[in-house]
Amino acid sequence: MFRINPLIRWIAIGVLSALSLAASFRAITSLAKGMPSRSISLAVARPKTDSLSLPPAFHLTPATPSLAQKPQASIAPATAPSSKALPPLNLPQKPQASIAPATAPVRVVPMVAPASIPVANSPVIRVKVASSPTSLTIATSNQGAIVLPDGQAAVGLVPSQSYLVSIARGGILIGDQVFPNGVMLQPGANGLTWVAGYWYRGRVRLVWDAGQLNAVNEVDLEHYLYGVLGAEMPSDWEAEALKAQAIVARSYALTLIEEPISSYWDLGNDESNQCYRGVETETNRTIAAVAATHRTVLVKEGRIFRSQYASTDAISQEAHGGIGKSMSQAGAQKLATQGATMLQILGYYYPGSGLGVLNLSQAAS
């Protein structure tokens, strides 16, 4: 019988095994190419939010002011979180706004000759800027002081350190000391005051009235208008529209100084009066518009005219009666984009009115 060399036999077996594996691999590859691809996603079961409840230890309860706090010799800064350093001062630019060009031509209405309006001194306006039934946070940007209602400085304040204000028996609690109602927060020279999230020029009086702790910003009228313009009208609008807005806002504010809303403040800081957010809404262009119209007001029949305004013609008509009583801010911008001047804008919306200038030198004693 013919015998195969063992070495040759083992080589042949190895070659056959390799060929068999290669064939199997090609079959598997061909099968895989014909299968559709799929992605696998994992579904994670999440509890419904309305079924969640915090353990009792994590339920928050509102803080209530102490009624038994005794006056101390000095003021201690508020504890966390109100003792955190306040954000740095910055004057953000208003976001840009666009408005469709007007299609109607500008109607020019002559203004009455300017008049001179005597005033006792540079007007200071009182604006309620914050109100709370429980507490407020205050600070000064530099070395400030708590001033008593009689004008005497009581205690100094650390620059940019926040203090918690609440109500205590017998007065207003600031830090750990009680002061009489009507106490004043006075910053140093060129300093600002911080109340409930905003920086303000001037000083702030704290008044407890009708169940509310109120912060009233007492500020020079012209400085007040810097912030009003930026809060009421985009500061990148036409310069003539901004100047018209400055005169209208100044006139409106002066009539409320003469006939204040409250014995403690002349007006508020929202849409019911004039929007005002302190230095946050000031820009170079709002300051320039106020400066260009310095002490200029609208006058009608020998008195400062309560010039009302609204964002659009429709709202101006609905809320105030429209032309003759109220200016549309969007309309003022449209007229300005057509080339109308400040005088033409004011003449269009307040026919029969004129411009007056607050004259400090002719003030009656």
The answer to whether the CB of 218 falls within 8 A of the CB of 207 is no
Residue 124 lies in a domain: no
Query: CA 74 to CA 26: how far, in whole Å?
Result: 90
Residue 232 lies in a domain: no
Query: CA 328 to CA 325: how far, in whole Å?
Result: 10
Is pLDDT at 25 greater than 60 in this prediction? Answer: no
Residue 338 lies in a domain: no
* Residues 24, 29, 34: CA angle, nearest 5 degrees: 130
The whole domain housing 204 covers: 134-210
Closest alpha carbon to 248 in 324, 295, 309, 336: 309
Average predicted confidence (pLDDT) for the chain: 74
Number of domains in the chain: 1
Cα-atom radius of gyration of the chain, to the nearest Å? 36
Stretch 340-362: mean pLDDT: 87
Residue 261 lies in a domain: no
Alpha carbon 262 to chain centroid, angstroms: 23
The torsion angles phi and psi of 205, rounded to 5 degrees, stand at -100, 140
pLDDT tier at 221, thresholds 50, 70, 90: very high
Is pLDDT at 33 greater than 90 in this prediction? Answer: no
pLDDT, tens digit, for every residue of 301-337?
888 988 888 888 898 888 777 787 889 999 999 999 9
pLDDT tier at 27, thresholds 50, 70, 90: very low
Q: Which residues pair with 209 in a beta bridge?
A: 212
Cis amide bond preceding 81, omega within 30: yes
Query: CA 353 to CA 306: how far, in whole Å?
Result: 11
Query: CA 365 to CA 362: how far, in whole Å?
Result: 9
Residue 242 lies in a domain: no
> Which is more confident, 173 or 51?
173
Residue 205 lies in a domain: yes
Query: CA 280 to CA 194: how far, in whole Å?
Result: 11
Query: CA 258 to CA 15: how far, in whole Å?
Result: 111
Q: Where are the alpha helices (DSSP H) in the chain?
A: 6-33, 221-232, 239-258, 284-292, 313-320, 329-337, 342-349
Stretch 142-155: mean pLDDT: 90
The torsion angles phi and psi of 259, rounded to 5 degrees, stand at -130, 75
Is pLDDT at 97 greater than 70 in this prediction? Answer: no
pLDDT, tens digit, for every residue of 44-68?
233 332 322 222 322 222 333 332 3
Structure tokens at 152: 């005497």
pLDDT, tens digit, for every residue of 123-143?
899 999 999 999 999 999 999
pLDDT at 319: 79
